Structure 1
């Protein structure tokens, strides 16, 4: 069946042995089946972070499928998506067409082909293939050569794209100074598990009641992502991001009002945040994606690239944002990948 997302209010988590929940609900995604990682997708992860091709590539990627745009269309708010992706996202709706990125709603379906963006996406794809083939030194020459085929407006657009920040793979490690006393961290700082009682020195950064730990590095700008192996999950876990000012001395809830944007799995069906999720599959590895300036936190199945949930228009209020992890109960463990 379709993955679905309950909207609004508190309530019982959807049917099944495990309940997926998120702290607030703004978007509904209904993925049909699983997405495949294509050659272009693999190249996207392998691109050098400072490469001009990488910067261009980052801006010609559909935020739904995470692939190069295919037959891109502009919708009512001006955001762009693959035609097939937005059709799948909206399904058979006849009204209230909501943008998956900014949540602006229109009463009528409005999709205009964006052929210029499609051509730019094709250039980015070809350049990335050349880079992968070992032609990094010729990228700028190739870029200028390909621009000869574009009109002045296209060249201006690509110039702007080149100056945009690039989403970066974050090498996240766990901060032992923030870890609750009932959590055990691996020596490499990549794994957190429940169990054991550790007598630790007082630290104002440490979570005293909630079984949480933060990543060492926080972010105040840019777009970043990291992946977390959740396996079978255990009793209760959550992954996401948190403000630096999140409370440490008291019990906390995993929701934006607390400064936490997280996806959680809990075996107790009576426990729910404001948005229960029912998925038709059980992701084993979660990709957490943070767009600081865009105010967006998104979650994907890292193996299939299927979208799980997105928090748009988050309010970070200029604070540093940290990777966030919650582990509770027997057999509960999370591991950062790689």
Structure 2
């Protein structure tokens, strides 16, 4: 096979491997190969990740398309050649119109092809001239270098931003911890002062009892029982601040919970609520396991005894335990199949067609549907975008604050938090709804 001429090499290098035509607005991608902008755009149309090079098949997660200005300059020089007037000699080489010599050189300054006679002429004597193959290779290397340099700068910028973000987070957490430490120290001093006062009071009480010890029994029993029932309480405000801080920083909460497990003397949160499913409230289409921990939906309704607490219209079931005070949580194992919802409801919600999934109507719930997740914030649900698919959901209830919060129990990430609401002293229950292939399981 005869060797290709420089002009043939230039023509090949000037052609897009997709459309096989001379480059139009050339760009290079992540692997260094170049294509027409319109060709690579059409090839990648509809892709959002895993962008593959049409020539070498190298993959990249993000689209990386940059203009190849050097190649564009070469293309413009090639286009400026009057190729229709170039005569070909027997060997297939293109000839210089002026000197009838083969065009084997490329002038970097004028961006045009030259023969050896042109190279020696006064016009190009001080110009930078190189063989066609070397010139083409140089432009390719330069394009690759620019792409590498741009990627390097992007990495530096990204890590600088990450470093700044972590420094701000560190400063914020340290400031919060310092404030919390100061408040705990202050509370500790107040408790010591109260202990001192209680000790003094107890000493006085002992003296009084010693004086009355010799008195008749009826006189001795006049000592009031409440004088012996003094107790110390931690400030509710401080306890609330500590709770809020740990909820906002789940990593710190997890560390403190581990410490709690080892020492057994510091209570950061109550133990999980011992909740089961209440069969007396289950809709006839819901099938409960023998231990009342798992529930699934069935197409055939069961023949169940009539019960005013039973849901008769929607496939719902309540937890076995209701709450009128305190802070509680329970975990539920969920799946991606079917439609399901879970949360907290007031005891007074309708059990028939009047049930409305709205916080204003006493229902605070999180729902999974076939194509995503929703917060049942009103009659029109709010779509949620989660960073991962939860397999285990933790529902937290703070009755006094009227707060209901949902967490991914495995990643500790908060999914949804409803605004505080007044529960008005009414009992509330864990609530579950499911249909289709869904099933829910309480984890005790």
TM-score (norm 2): 0.41
| Counterpart for residue 351 of structure 2 | 248
Shift of 1:214: 0.2
Provide the residue aligned with 1:282 in structure 2. Answer: 389
1:335 maps to 2:335:
no
In 1, the alpha carbon distance for the partners of 2:384 and 2:373 equals 13
| Cα distance between partner residues in 2 of 1:67 and 1:167 | 18
1:259-281 deviation per Cα after TM superposition (whole angstroms, max 9, x unaligned): 11000011267998431112231
Q: Return the alpha-carbon distance in structure 2 between the equivalents of residues 193 and 251 of structure 1.
A: 23
**Residue 317 of structure 2 corresponds to which residue in structure 1?**
213
Which residue number corresponds to residue 68 of structure 1?
Answer: 252
Query: If the length of structure 1 is used for normalisation, what is the TM-score?
Result: 0.54
Task: Please state whether the residue corresponding to 1:170 is helix, strand or coil.
Answer: coil
* Residue in 1 that maps onto 2:262: 132
Choose between structure 1 and 2: higher helix proportion.
2
Secondary structure, counterpart of 1:184 in structure 2: strand
Would the alpha carbon gap of residues 304 and 244 (structure 1) be closer, same or farther in structure 2, given more than 3 Å must change? Answer: same
Question: Looking at CA atoms only, which structure, 1 or 2, has the larger radius of gyration?
Answer: 2
Q: Call closer, same or farther: CA 1:186–1:288 in 2, change over 3 Å.
A: same
Unaligned runs of 5+ in 1: 1-31, 33-51, 71-123, 144-161
Where is the strand percentage greater, Structure 1 or Structure 2? 1
Tell me the equivalent position of 2:278.
175
- Report SS of the residue matched to 1:132: helix
* Superposition pairs of residues 118-267 of structure 1, within 5 angstroms: 125=256, 129=259, 132=262, 166-195=269-298, 196-232=300-336, 234-267=337-370
- Which has the bigger relative contact order, CA under 8 A and spacing at least 6? 1
Aligned residue pair count: 204
Find the counterpart in structure 1 of residue 13 from structure 2: none
Unaligned runs of 5+ in 2: 1-164, 166-232
- Give 2:4's aligned residue: none
**Residues 241 and 324, structure 1, Cα contact 8 Å, conserved in 2:** yes
Question: CA 1:282 to 1:130, structure 2 compared with 1: closer, same or farther past 3 Å?
Answer: closer
Runs of 4+ with deviation above 4 angstroms: 55-58, 268-272
Q: CA deviation at 1:198?
A: 0.6
Work out which of the residue numbers 284, 289, 292 in structure 1 matches 2:399.
292
Structure 2 SS opposite 1:325: strand
| Residues 32-43 of structure 1 aligned to structure 2 (within 5 Å) | none
CA contact (8 A) 2:247 2:253 kept: no
